[in-house]
Amino acid sequence: MIMPVLFTKLISPQINPQIIKRLDLLRSLRKNLDKKATIITANGGYGKSTLAALFIDQYKIPYVWYNLNENDNDPFNFLTHIAHGVKKQFGDIVDEAMGMIEEGCVEWDLLMTALFNEIVAGVNEKFVLVLDGFHFVESYQGMKEMLFSFIRYCPPNIHIIILSRERPGIPLNKLKFNGGLAEFGPNDISFDINDMNDLFRDIYNVDLNFHDLKRAHEYSEGWVLMLRLIGESINLEAGNMPASFEFNINSAKEEVFQYFNDEVFCLFDEDQRMFLKETSIMNYFNSLIYDFLKNGSGSEQIVKELLRKQAFVVKLDNEGEWYRYHRCFRDFLIDRLELEETPDHIRELHKRAALYFKEYGDGEGVVYHSINAQDYSFADEEINDAINFYVEI
């Protein structure tokens, strides 16, 4: 049976002329082109696909683009689309592979061998293979072995760019240790203040003062989706009474909260959602705190899952002991917590958090959570202890 091919999956995204070319980032990608693969992981709205498309366009690199979704979780279907993508870009150089597809070959390893051999023999230039939406397929058990083999044995004239919302779960550490893998995460591709200034000035025709730029950077943390919504909010106010910049941020938050609800929060089960909501009361957290709050265990696995899914969680130390949420995501989680839980429950969470930080020796945490628990005597006690400690010194 011939597997149907949806050719629109092989079309790269069009580059919006209203885009900021971040040349330093593009040069960083170019520097790694001789490696076997580049992985770009971040949640939605960070511009992964746009970045890859800009990179290809900037350096005029031949490419095959494959937009993945849940229907591509079959090894044969995956390889069939790639064979058609190679044919589209380079012509009839994969005749053996195409013949095997037409004959209904179901052994993916044989098809992959034929495809790779024909690429080695028929393509005399370096090209990029973009796997856009890798998170849709790599978690399926039937795909893991094939994807690992695909990356491991991929011809040297192919550079694979993996775009994913999650760090791939297939074993790639050996490739990384051997210098064959480059990785870019949210911190690498987010906008800095200079990028933001270019975005607002060149795309939205707004010259923000340094205070407003700094405020936008602190809140968005360089997340381009948030920045674009702020810019659109500013443009909507054009010709009307100028709104405060804080108004523009709050206006953008409404749409961002909807995005979090539809694209991020829904990815987690009930226990994980409760973890997200209840840990949002803290400026920083770890798994031990939540186990203490709930008199339970198992939080470490939830934290690992949040990190794997790039759920807007930021590491605060190299050891991976302390974390915080992206500021905008934390506001969303607090909003959900206050809508879905009682004030008494939230105060009890703060009270338990204050007790944990007291045991941990974090006075700032004790005072913050005691005040939010409305346990002012406990906060006063901690402040007086700190004063007495410094007086004695």
- Report the pLDDT value the prediction gives residue 168, as an integer from 0 to 100: 84
Answer for the pair 56, 12: CB distance below 8 angstroms, yes or no. yes
Q: How confident is the model at residue 334 (pLDDT cuts 50, 70, 90)?
A: very high
pLDDT beyond 70 at 391: no
- Report the pLDDT value the prediction gives residue 250, as an integer from 0 to 100: 79
- Report the pLDDT value the prediction gives residue 1, as an integer from 0 to 100: 46
Edge-first strand order for the sheet with 158-164 is: 63-67, 127-132, 158-164, 37-41, 181-184
d(CA 32, CA 387): 53
User: What residues have CB less than 8 Å from 86, skipping those under 6 apart?
Assistant: 64, 93, 94, 115, 119, 123
Name the token pair of 39.
């992985």
- Report the pLDDT value the prediction gives residue 208, as an integer from 0 to 100: 86
Name the token pair of 256.
């961002």
d(CA 52, CA 29): 9
pLDDT beyond 60 at 309: yes
**Distance (Å) of CA 234 to CA 201, 205, 206, 228, 242:** 12, 10, 8, 10, 9
Q: At 304, give phi and psi (nearest 5°).
A: -60, -40
- Report the pLDDT value the prediction gives residue 341, as an integer from 0 to 100: 95
Q: How confident is the model at residue 318 (pLDDT cuts 50, 70, 90)?
A: confident
What pTM does this model have?
0.85
pLDDT single digits (tens) 199-234:
999 988 888 889 889 988 999 999 999 998 888 887
Average pLDDT over residues 10-21: 88
- Report the pLDDT value the prediction gives residue 240, as an integer from 0 to 100: 47
pLDDT beyond 60 at 243: no
d(CA 149, CA 348): 51
Q: Please give the mean pLDDT across all residues of the chain.
A: 89
Of 50-59, 194-203, 338-347, least confident by mean pLDDT is: 194-203
Average pLDDT over residues 77-102: 93
Q: How confident is the model at residue 244 (pLDDT cuts 50, 70, 90)?
A: low
Ranges of H-type helices in 199-342: 210-220, 224-236, 245-259, 270-279, 287-294, 299-308, 327-340
- Report the pLDDT value the prediction gives residue 299, as an integer from 0 to 100: 92
d(CA 302, CA 319): 17
Q: How many C-beta atoms surround the C-beta of residue 377 within 10 A?
A: 8
pLDDT beyond 80 at 119: yes
pLDDT single digits (tens) 125-167:
999 999 999 998 877 777 888 998 999 999 999 999 999 998 8
Average pLDDT over residues 6-28: 90
pLDDT beyond 50 at 242: no
pLDDT single digits (tens) 267-282:
899 999 999 999 999 9
pLDDT beyond 60 at 293: yes
Average pLDDT over residues 97-124: 91
- Report the pLDDT value the prediction gives residue 239, as an integer from 0 to 100: 47
- Report the pLDDT value the prediction gives residue 41, as an integer from 0 to 100: 94
- Report the pLDDT value the prediction gives residue 145, as an integer from 0 to 100: 87
- By the 10 Å C-beta count (0-12 exposed, 13-18 middle, 19+ buried), 148 is classed as middle
